[in-house]
Amino acid sequence: MSSDLWSFSLTTYARPGVEQACLKLQAAGANVCLLLCGLWLDQRKVACSEQRLQQLGRVAENWDADVVQPLRALRTQWKAAAAEDADLDALREKVKALELEAERRLLLRLEQTAQRWPQDEVTDLSAWLEGVAADTANLDRDALHQLRVAATGT
């Protein structure tokens, strides 16, 4: 298991089924960085609590709204036109790289928030995943289950 959240996220996202589940959940309004953080915290045996969920939510909220979402919106907006314009496609790829870097930095902020939380506690993966996605209006429960299964192999 990777010790840092970024490495864990890359490894987990590469597993079969994880990318598709994350994209479905993201389309429903869930924050994939928070979902990956929930998986990571469960693997580290950090117990889920309302206070911890709120701390993570506060860290993610502004960065996601002010940095990640505008980059994602621009990248998405340019998708069709970039297929026919090589210059725009090159710019879109740069925006995509910035979006990924913004997500990496969010994961680092989440990791720093959780750094001192005790490990080797009794955990509940469902509590983490449902807790970090609690504000998602149209949460795709099937995709959440797919993520849980794909990420943990259970």
Tens digit of pLDDT for each residue in 19-67? 999 999 998 889 999 999 999 999 999 999 999 999 999 999 999 999 9
Structure pTM? 0.91
CA 109, 110, 112, 113 torsion: positive or negative?
Answer: positive
Mean pLDDT of all residues in 90-102 = 98
Q: What is the pLDDT of residue 73?
A: 96
Domain boundaries, the chain: 5-152
Identify the top-confidence range among 13-17, 22-26, 63-67, 142-146.
63-67
Q: What is the pLDDT of residue 151?
A: 77
d(CA 73, CA 94): 14
Asked whether the predicted pLDDT for residue 1 surpasses 70, the reply is no
Q: Which amino acid is at 47?
A: A
d(CA 17, CA 150): 6
Asked whether the predicted pLDDT for residue 113 surpasses 80, the reply is yes
